[in-house]
Amino acid sequence: MEASDLKQRPPFRVTTFRDDHEVISEDVETEIAARTRFASAIDLCKTREDAHSHRVTLQSAGATIAVWPESGA
């Protein structure tokens, strides 16, 4: 599912995975909005079934700048 109405590639993208499959990818214009959406995606994942693995990534200009859960978590 793609949740983007932006015509040009924005500077930030938040992607949520379930069992290593991308389930939603959101393009975000500002760092504040991206970090807010990243935190919200993490909160949502924490409420989901433990039977499935969840992961959230925050990217800027194609580079991953944050991942949840962190390595070793």
Asked if residues 15 and 59 have their Cβ atoms less than 8 Å apart, the reply is yes
3-58 pLDDT, tens digit each: 555 556 679 999 999 999 999 999 999 999 999 999 999 999 999 878 899 999 99
The three-state secondary structure class of 4 is: coil
Tokens describing residue 20: 């290593």
pTM: 0.81
Give the integer Cα–Cα distance in Å for 55 and 8: 26
> If DSSP codes are grouped into helix, strand and coil, which group holds residue 48?
coil
| Domain residue extents for the chain | 12-68
Element (H, E) at 41: helix 31-46
